[in-house]
Structure 1
Amino acid sequence: MKASYIAVCALLLLLLARAQITVAVTCNPTQLSPCVSAITSSSAPSTVCCGKIKEQKPCLCQYLKNPNLKKFVNSPNARKVANTCGTPFPKC
């Protein structure tokens, strides 16, 4: 009985370790403000910028639908920054 209890606990721990935690992203284009200098100039993106791009990636298609944001988000430099950060631009 004790061995089966330990086996069940071990299995449960393995399952929990493999479970992915899903966190809802709040789409807020101002979160990309650390990327403004990298997108508007030739400067390299900061680690903060890359983190924000990865965080906001699920929102990029929504931003592209907004006429006020589309020019900024869809610019060649924005795509370059996203690629530099290791976050390929989504196909919307």
Structure 2
Amino acid sequence: MAMRKTKELLLVAMMLALVVAARAAPCEVGQLTVCMPAITTGAKPSGACCANLGAQQGCFCQYAKDPALGRYITSPHARDTLLSCGLAVPRC
């Protein structure tokens, strides 16, 4: 009985660790390439785009400060893309 509880606690701890790791996804601007049609032309964002934007949302201000990326991140189409995906527009 004690061994079973130990295994259950270990399983719960591992699941929590996975959730925390998933939320702390590193900033990888390459994940946003799937969003380029939406960001540059105003096309409707794909599901993959919205998922990647959600995963990278904590990185937007960092990207906005990058001279090579800032104009894309702060463009009107980028704002529309975020809103279309149901994501908040960051205030940096």
Q: TM-score, normalised by structure 1?
A: 0.75
- The equivalent of 1:54 in structure 2 is 54
Q: CA deviation at 1:65?
A: 1.0
- Work out the percentage of aligned pairs sharing the same amino acid: 38
How large is the Cα RMSD of the aligned pairs?
2.2
In the other structure, the counterpart of 2:32 is 32
- Give me the whole-angstrom Cα distance separating, in 2, the residues matched to 1:41 and 1:90: 20
1:6 corresponding residue in structure 2: none
**Matching residue's letter, 1:32:** L
State the Cα distance separating 1:42 from its structure 2 match. Answer: 2.8
Which residue does 2:87 correspond to in 1? Answer: 87
| Residue 72 of structure 1: how far off its partner (Å) | 0.7
Amino acid at match of 1:49: C
Q: Which residue matches 1:77?
A: 77
1:63 Cα deviation (Å)? 0.4
Cα distance in 1 for partners of 2:77, 2:25 equals: 24
Determine which of 8, 20, 37 is the counterpart of 1:22.
Answer: 20
SS of the equivalent of 1:37 reads: helix
User: Matches of residues 7-18 of structure 1 in structure 2 within 5 Å?
Assistant: none
Measured in 1, the distance between the counterparts of 2:56 and 2:65 equals 15
Runs of 4+ that moved beyond 3 A:
none
In structure 2, list runs of 5 or more residues that go unmatched.
none
